[in-house]
Amino acid sequence: MVEKEQSIINQSFHSGFLLLEFSEVRELQILHFFGFLVYYLATVTGNLLIISAVASDHRLHTPMYFFLMNLAMQDLGQVSVIIPKSMANSLMNTRHISYSGCVAQVFFFLFFASSDFSLLTVMAYDRYIAICNPLQYEILMNKQACIQMIASVWITGFLYGVLHTGGTFAFPFCSNVVNQFFCEVPPLLKIVCSDVNQIEIGALVLSVVIGFSCFTFIIITYVHIFTSVLRIPSTEGRQKAFSTCLPHLTVVSILLTTGFFTYLKLNSNTPSHLDLAFSMIYSMVPPLINPIIYSMRNKEIKNALSKLLGLEHFSLNTFSSFILLK
């Protein structure tokens, strides 16, 4: 009898999950829809501009901008996986997401997010070679090497997504209520019927090892980078080097601090509004600020965007003011 009831429960859960809603008040749901719509349009526009600028300007056909274009593609994928569904639910006054939709959301979010962090690690290596070993840059960062690095980034993200998605949905769920506005591993593991301590520990160890390894590599490379930059005699040269490094460190810091907070507390009973806040920061902030900080501190990107938007007669300062007003 118990097995029969459990089977009925499992079948009902396979029809879908209920996501966390921001408010039960209809007016606030509509406000949430328009707020996310503005955010989504701004993020998509910013990243598409970066992709178009790099693709259309032959002067930007270099490893650094090739990686930046891939970063913009990953950011587009990441926000497109979670934001449209949340907007649709708010507009239609529902919390539902299908079982297959939840699986797809978990996989693609992990795929794009892990690929994003792997690419930030590759970009740190690119800056290290460019600043610390400039004479060997064209040899070490040739076209074939860049393609291999990007392929490794995407493949790593795919494997990471498959591993965590498979581990999360390998067991039956005791509830279909997900305390998050999108399907994410930590809240899903909290509603699994089986003892998932080993799964949680395995997922935690894997994430920490990968994240800490990448973080350590980034820190070591930037110690060498800043040491080399401080030796540059000209002030303009130091400013140019810092302008390509500081945005990168900003994004890495935001991604790591908020992401680690979320995934290091799988067993905690912290109130869900804190989970929601940190998840929103690490899932939504980097895709929005990446185009802004990379374009604001990069003269080549600003020139390419000026040309792309037909503003080539504007001064760089005027264009910067135009972007900031947007």
326: pLDDT strictly greater than 50: no
172: pLDDT strictly greater than 50: yes
User: What does the pLDDT read at residue 14?
Assistant: 58
Over residues 142-166, the mean pLDDT reads 92
Domain extent, residue 201, equals 11-325
The whole-angstrom separation of Cα 144 and Cα 159 is 22
Q: Nearest 5°: CA angle at 208, between 206 and 213?
A: 100
Please state the domain count of the chain: 1
Positive or negative: CA dihedral 260, 264, 266, 272: negative
Report if residue 1 sits inside a domain: no
Report if residue 3 sits inside a domain: no
- For residue 82 the two structure tokens come to 């979670």
What percentage of residues in the chain have a pLDDT greater than 70?
77
Report if residue 2 sits inside a domain: no
89-93, 279-283, 312-316: lowest mean pLDDT where? 312-316
The whole-angstrom separation of Cα 27 and Cα 29 is 5
What's this model's pTM, rounded to 2 decimal places?
Answer: 0.82
- Note the pLDDT tens digit of each residue in 85-114: 999 998 998 889 999 999 999 999 999 988
Tokens 């999108």 correspond to what residue?
Answer: 182
Tokens 């109130």 correspond to what residue?
Answer: 271
User: What does the pLDDT read at residue 323?
Assistant: 45
Report if residue 6 sits inside a domain: no
- CATH number, domain with residue 242: 1.20.1070.10
Report if residue 51 sits inside a domain: yes
Confidence of residue 212 (pLDDT cuts 50, 70, 90): confident
Positive or negative: CA dihedral 295, 301, 302, 307: negative
- Note the pLDDT tens digit of each residue in 13-66: 557 899 988 878 888 889 999 999 999 999 999 999 999 888 888 888 889 889
Report if residue 203 sits inside a domain: yes
- Note the pLDDT tens digit of each residue in 217-257: 888 888 888 888 777 776 766 666 666 667 667 777 777 77
265: pLDDT strictly greater than 80: no
91-105, 106-120, 150-164, 279-293: lowest mean pLDDT where? 279-293
- Which has more pLDDT, 115 or 286? 115
- Gyration radius (Cα) of the chain, Å: 22
Report if residue 4 sits inside a domain: no
DSSP 141: T
